[in-house]
Structure 1
Amino acid sequence: MDIRPEQLADGVTLRIAERDDAPALAAAFVENRGPWEPYRPESFFTAEGQRARLEAQAREYAEGRLVPWLLVSGGRIAGAVTLSGVVLGPFRSAWLGYWIAADRQGRGLATAAVERVCRIARETVGLHRLEASTRPDNLASQRVLEKSGFEPIGMAPRYLHIGGEWRDHRLFQRILHDDDPTSAF
């Protein structure tokens, strides 16, 4: 996949994550660590831990199973957006995940990034549908999804282990198009 960097508002660039982003990404995770995250070993919050993670993501990206974007501004990581579990064929779907640095929230950055990723998912990756989930109390993330054309499709009880407990999540989807996928096989 040839996915080029794109400019968003306020000098933020949406681009594919690279191995050299490890120190900045580790710093961003340390700075934005919170109780809403799954358990992560301390090595996750180091440059070496992020380097290993980015290398694994690069392999999945090369295989067409994952697309790892970073939101970068002035050499700092302002957030990330990931399409994971990319499946083509008749399913043509993936899971969308994202986070925005605490000091960049509330400015429309998440909505702009999600909308741009949806366009790329359709036009470049060739997907039909994206799915995302949020904790029921994460109203800001739900607003981002709804503004970006996602619709709620249900509740998943005890969906993810976060903050030491299995947590319920609201599920959302966005249908990107209804084109016949047979020409893409």
Structure 2
Amino acid sequence: MPDSHPLQTGAARCRCTQLPGQSCARGLPLHIGHLPYAGQACRLPQWRFVRCLEERAAMELTLLQAADAATLLAFETQHRDAFERWMDPRPESFYTPEGFARTLQAALQQQAAGLAWHYLIWCDGVLAGRISLTHVQRTPAAQATLSYRIAPGYDGHGLATEAVAMVMQKAFHVHHLQRLTAPVRPQNKAAVQVLLKNGFHPHGHATTQPQLHRQWLDVLHYEATLPVQRAVQQAHA
């Protein structure tokens, strides 16, 4: 692994005790590459997959494509329990190659028709999350709904904030949308902060609107428009 900072371990088992964003003994920020959870025991031949980088690991968004099928299925399967805390469990067929291929094909057809755009979030070459623009409408105003999910181990360190900022750029300047909406549960305070940092503001509170795991939930609705997004950019310039 290039630019890696080997952390020698005397035993076959080791434990990763650092979180992304923390510093190692050299005072450099750490990025967890192939360990999904900080503190998880691992078995690696010589050192842990912890990268000690001079700069924050590079992040990029790529538009979903057919070639992503195997990587994305592995991502969804690995983090199934964590993701289904916030959504109803998907059928078992979703996690089979055949079932996932059908789901992926439907998503690609949506993209081709301009009805949705699905982006993958890569952190230093590792799939760390996904972020989507769905329910696209062109009239009376061009708008879409924003949603995302970040893999455990990558959340809580600014990755979601940066990914939302990047997808807003694409929404307004590539896909020519004028308004974005984002529903969020009141309990998900981290997601609320991500939206606020990117210029979203509340525009509604729905009570007992959707069901999750057979329970009625409250949902906060946030929105952002192109002028607001420009103001956020200027404030951070």
- Which residue of the partner structure matches residue 131 of structure 2? 81
- Specify which structure has the higher proportion of strand: 1
The corresponding residue for 1:47 is 97
What is the alpha-carbon root mean square deviation over aligned residues?
1.8
1:89-168 correspondence runs (5 A): 89-168=139-218
Determine whether 1:38 maps to 2:85. no
- Alpha-carbon distance in structure 1 between the residues aligned to 2:192 and 2:140: 28
Structure 1: which 5+ residue stretches go unaligned?
1-8, 179-185
Deviation at 1:75, TM superposition (A): 5.4
**Which whole-Å CA distance do the structure 2 matches of 1:74 and 1:152 have between them?**
33
Which of these two proteins has the greater Rg computed from alpha carbons?
Answer: 2
Aligned to 2:116: 66
Aligned to 2:174, what secondary structure does the other structure show?
helix
For 2:72 and 2:96, how far apart are their aligned partners in 1?
A: 9
SS of equivalent to 2:89:
coil
> What SS does the corresponding residue of 2:209 show, helix, strand or coil?
strand
Q: Is the 8 A contact 2:133 2:146 kept in 1?
A: yes
Query: For the residues of structure 1 that align with 2:126 and 2:71, how far apart are their CA atoms?
Result: 6
Cα 1:163/1:62, change in 2 over 3 Å: same
Q: Deviations over 1:109-151 (max 9, x none)?
A: 1111101111111111111100001111000000100001100
- Segments of 4+ in structure 1 off by > 3 A? 73-76
Alignment match, 1:5: none
2:62 corresponds to: 15
**What is the percent sequence identity of the aligned residues?**
35
TM-score in terms of structure 2 length = 0.67
Q: Which residue of 2 aligns with 1:57?
A: 107
Deviations 1:71-111 (A, max 9, x none): 12465421111000111133111000101101111121111
**Is the contact made by 2:57 and 2:124 (CA closer than 8 Å) also made in structure 1?**
no
Alpha-carbon distance in 2 for matches of 1:39, 1:159 = 18
Change (3 A) 1:115 1:74: closer
TM-score (norm 1): 0.84
Shift of 1:39: 2.9
Instruction: Go from structure 1 to structure 2 and tell me whether the alpha carbon gap of 1:61 and 1:159 turns closer, same or farther (over 3 Å shift).
Output: same
Q: Tell me the secondary structure at the aligned position of residue 119 of structure 2.
A: strand
Give CA deviations for 1:38-95 in whole Å, capped at 9, x if unaligned.
2310122233332221211111111111011011246542111100011113311100
Whichever structure has more helix as a proportion of its residues is 1
Q: What is the letter of the counterpart of residue 50 of structure 1?
A: F
Q: Is the 8 A contact 2:121 2:128 kept in 1?
A: yes
CA contact (8 A) 2:59 2:121 kept: yes
